[in-house]
Chains A and B, each alone.
Chain A
């Protein structure tokens, strides 16, 4: 497959691995921020090939994992009590809210549809003028532009029965939160390639400078991931910290200007609660007042008040890199993919599920 097989090239992988083993002299903990990278690392068995001194920490970049339980509760309330058609990305369905998941709500009769594109949700709204259609807008800067576009298009087409339940979060504030935690073990970051495709790389410069930490914008294929890790380790071994871009074939420094413009037009930035982590200042995207007609929380009068998260789940410590999933007392005992205590055990991108399902050692 063109543009894919080249980045899974065995010879190149071996060369990068050899170089990585050569340059690594001390133990380093590197956080891959994005869930897609976690998935790539485990799916290709890369964790099994890295030098022992390198520890990969699976970061908070699994959007499904950090979506707070009360938003899932709101989505369920919309389907069961307001009889809406709820459209969602697939892996959101299994994540437990405070009482049940969207899958359980579907079994109770909720009309929940798995989509790949929010524009499809707008079409469903047009086909069902008597129903309210809500898109559960989950994700980082990557999925946000398409979701923003769905609102703009719905407005343009005069679609009155379409709204977003907005759960968007931003990467740079999460990295800052991790670095501000005194117990953090992270020495360097692989920044999420697709997020930077949209946003560009400039917003990471201040983070690098403030926390003196290497950040390498990295892709998702084996060659990308290994090169990103190598570039980070080379900086660490040389005692330098810079922002570097491994994923140049896709990521431009200035990002995708029309997409960024669209985000600014549709969303404003406010504080947002992250599941397992707490409230991170200026880390969430919310619909601007001029698009209030397309905001499910406005249309259905959803209350933002919610009880604090009470769970034995240590997902926050896992996502901050303080503990590895198997170090959690519930891992594999009270918490499994069939009966998850927290979201990282649910999603294929979640750190705990990745360990539980893929790790060879256990």
Chain B
């Protein structure tokens, strides 16, 4: 499904006397207020937003996780989601990877003049639904409009905050040789869903983006396993390969992964074959990697498998002190090779 509407029931869009966003909506004047009062604030309603101050005053005790991300996805609407839920889930997940429960978000729109109001409404509805699902509140925000041609429809920035679970002891430095690398589900679905709708590449596919909040399961894992979990990472842009390279380089350790154990939906595998791409390098929006000692790995996998989206969770590899800085892949047929670090944009091969 790639319609410009998020799934589920939505209030009808309010009657407005304009059908596209213009520069005036970002002027800070009457039209900005109209946009906020008729569309944004009633839908994201909470005591902080109702206050309509210059910022939100939050009461936070103890360690707080804090993360920001900007969303510039094209197309804006894709199978399984849109830029709205992506912007919420993306930052929610970055906070979740710190071992925290995401609670508060900021939300900034940079809208290109000419964006149909209906599209903005649908994006806003997706933001609202994603916030409800993830149980986070948008407590402050901003709206700017740029001239036509200076943006790609809409860009969204979100920043998230959440209290860190008292049992969490997550740090890249805690990863050591022997640790297992656990992947929570099938690879590359977000990237392939986006690509299937990108102009010039369109292909028929039932693959939908995996965009979803991850903190329910990461909080559960920290609660059950505490410091036995060494690190969480979500393999978004650059895919699983990028995360593994970063870990290998930063910790001066090697990583070995098994190709045969990698969960990949057959349609994703087919699309990757056709397009000359490797699923390990493709973006995910609802997956996470857990690094943990070998003696706890099976229990952690079992716990993730109990989660609604974790049925295919599995150990995909091991940290080693051999070949520091390199990620090695044992292929399905038993050969070993280096998994190269990407140097720039992923470009499809010619043949």
- Prevailing SS type, chain B contact patch: loop
With contacts A1-B266, A64-B350, A115-B200 taken as known, whether A44 is within 8 angstroms of B273 at the C-beta atoms is no
Q: Note all chain B residues with C-beta closer than 8 A to A89.
A: 348-350
A35 at interface, CB cutoff 8 A? yes
Interface contact B351-A337, CB-CB below 8 Å: no
Interface contact B344-A44, CB-CB below 8 Å: no
- Identify which of B273, B275, B332, B334 contacts A116 (C-beta below 8 A): B275
Interface contact B345-A103, CB-CB below 8 Å: yes
A328 at interface, CB cutoff 8 A? no
Q: Note all chain A residues with C-beta closer than 8 A to B328.
A: 360
Q: Please report the total number of B residues contacting A with Cβ < 8 Å.
A: 30
Interface contact B337-A114, CB-CB below 8 Å: no
Residue of A whose beta carbon sits closest to that of B203: A116
A189 to B347, CA, bound (A): 28
Digit string of B321-351 for contact with A (CB within 8 Å is 1, else 0)? 0000000111111111110110111011111
Interface contact A44-B333, CB-CB below 8 Å: yes
A339 to B349, CA, bound (A): 19
A42 to B266, CA, bound (A): 22
B270 at interface, CB cutoff 8 A? yes
Q: Note all chain A residues with C-beta closer than 8 A to B336.
A: 45, 48, 360
With contacts A116-B275, A357-B338, A357-B340 taken as known, whether A45 is within 8 angstroms of B330 at the C-beta atoms is yes
Digit string of B211-230 for contact with A (CB within 8 Å is 1, else 0)? 00000000000000000000
Task: List the one stretch of A70-78, A90-98, A175-183, A207-215 in contact with chain B.
Answer: A90-98
- 8 Å CB contacts to A: which residues of B248-275? 266, 269-270, 273, 275
A295 at interface, CB cutoff 8 A? no
Q: How far is the CB of A162 from chain B (nearest CB, A)?
A: 15
Interface contact A4-B273, CB-CB below 8 Å: yes
With contacts A45-B330, A47-B335 taken as known, whether A358 is within 8 angstroms of B350 at the C-beta atoms is no
Interface contact B351-A90, CB-CB below 8 Å: no
Q: Note all chain A residues with C-beta closer than 8 A to B269.
A: 1
- Identify which of B275, B338, B343 contacts A338 (C-beta below 8 A): B343
Q: Note all chain B residues with C-beta closer than 8 A to A359.
A: 337-338
A35 to B330, CA, bound (A): 22
B11 at interface, CB cutoff 8 A? no
B201 at interface, CB cutoff 8 A? yes
With contacts A337-B343, A358-B338, A359-B338 taken as known, whether A92 is within 8 angstroms of B350 at the C-beta atoms is yes
Interface contact A358-B347, CB-CB below 8 Å: no
Interface contact A358-B344, CB-CB below 8 Å: no
Interface contact A1-B351, CB-CB below 8 Å: no
A90 to B338, CA, bound (A): 23
What are 13 of the A-B contact pairs (CB < 8 Å)?
A45-B335, A45-B336, A48-B336, A90-B350, A91-B347, A93-B345, A94-B347, A115-B201, A116-B200, A116-B201, A120-B200, A143-B351, A336-B343
Residues of chain B at the chain A interface (Cβ within 8 Å):
200-201, 266, 269-270, 273, 275-276, 278, 328-338, 340-341, 343-345, 347-351
Can you add 15 more A-B contacts, CB < 8 Å, to A43-B337, A45-B330? Answer: A1-B270, A8-B332, A14-B334, A35-B350, A43-B278, A63-B350, A89-B348, A90-B276, A90-B347, A90-B350, A114-B347, A115-B200, A116-B200, A116-B275, A347-B349
